[in-house]
Amino acid sequence: RGPAGRGMAAAAFERRVLRSAAEHHYLRVRLELPDGGARPNAAQFKQLVVTALRELHGEVGAALPVDVLTYEEKTLSAILRVISSGLVKLWSALTLLGFYQNRRCAFRVLQVKPSGAGCLPPGVSSGSKLAR
């Protein structure tokens, strides 16, 4: 006999998946380069994002439309915009990237939002692009 037959109610589990209606997601990320050295400029940063996508998801991943809306070379921080259907691919690729120019590195995803509100710095619109 099952648990219900012993006076214990069987637990009912319900799985809910909430999908955002947003067309894009915005990620605030920081690149960590613990051993110092040269810092990537905006174009090199964008290329690093594409490389991360290619390494994990192949050419299909590398073709994912990702925009670098802001990039601050001093702090190696950026705001990325990706179509919502590509969020998991981008996040996983950034998380698993371990090297930049043969040096250890790590991307830290600091914030994710389904819209630009609260994620974008003043003066940056969700339609602007720094690098594509």
| 3-class secondary structure per residue, 13-79 | CCCCCCCCCCCEEEEEEEEECCCCCCCCCHHHHHHHHHHHHHHHHHHHHHCCCEEEEEEECCCCEEE
> Domains (ranges, CATH) in the chain?
24-114 (3.30.70.3250)
State pLDDT tens for residues 88-131.
Answer: 999 999 999 999 998 999 999 999 999 755 555 555 555 555 54
* pTM of structure: 0.74
The pLDDT of residue 38: 85
- Position 132 scores a pLDDT of 41
Q: What is the average per-residue pLDDT within 24-48?
A: 93
What would the pLDDT profile of 74-93 be if each residue is shown by its tens digit? Answer: 999 999 999 999 999 999 99
Q: Given the structure tokens 């996508």, which residue do they identify?
A: 53
